Amino acid sequence: MKISLVQNAPVMGQPTLNLTSLDNLIGTGNGADIYVLPEMFATGQYLDPAPVVQTMEGQIVKWMQLKADELDAAVCGSLPILENGKYYNRLIFAMPENRMVWYDKHHLFTYSGEAENYTAGKERVIVNFRGVRIMLLICYDLRFPKFSRNHDDYEAIIYPANWPDKRIFAWDILLRARAIENQCYVIGVNRSGEDELGFYPGHSTIIDPYGGTLVHTDETPQMVSGRLDLEKLNDFRIKFPVIKDADR
């Protein structure tokens, strides 16, 4: 399976501009099965999302659905969603033919005030796409290994993020840790650029089940790709059955 990491630098509160910029960055695609975008890829990060909040029938979700059809691929990224009077940081996994799965961020970043405005999701979400089972998580979820524990029910994890330079060392290390402890591929896509909260240095990456780096970016907006080798992963799990010995 081919995965493309689409690392952009969203302009705060300008979804139309940001989506146009992403159209240019992605172009006609590069044959990937999944295009992964950062957290809040089209709006920028708002601790109070009222000025930019979307609905499931809104501009950004429609763009994702159209892009999935155009590219014949999944398009994945997070955005602020209003539903039943509550705000959610929702990771949308849009697939061709208007199929869609989503995950609401479970661990809200209390330190920044995210928990004051958003509602935490409760469900653990795994999507099966083209034969690969993928767990959907967002940014701060990376710090909580219990929630993401592999019960032999997925092969990869996706983490879109707004992870600042001040804590980028933790991002790099924790992505590697999640891959090693769960014997899976880990796909982390961070934004680039800056906003009022800080500077974002990219470091989007794909980590293999051994903890090796397949793809890694610098701080500039870009699209890069890597491949998940399920045969290699399955052979590794058979020869070294860590998951079967894990705590339940």
What positions carry a catalytic annotation? 39, 105, 139
Query: What single-letter amino acid sits at 192?
Result: S
Cα separation, 124 vs 102, whole angstroms = 10
Cα separation, 88 vs 212, whole angstroms = 33
Count, residues in the chain: 248
Q: Which residues in the chain belong to E strands, given as ranges?
A: 2-7, 34-36, 74-83, 86-95, 99-104, 126-129, 132-136, 156-161, 185-190, 192-195, 198-201, 205-207, 213-216, 222-227
Q: Which of 141, 138, 203, 137 is nearest to 166 (CA)?
A: 203
- Per DSSP, the three-state class of 199 is strand
- Per DSSP, the three-state class of 9 is coil
How much helix, strand and coil, in percent to the nearest 5, is found in the chain? 25, 30, 40
List C-alpha distances in Å: 185 to 59, 131, 138: 31, 14, 15
* DSSP state string for 178-194: HHHHHTSEEEEEE-EEE
Burial of 126 (0-12, 13-18, 19+ CB in 10 A): middle
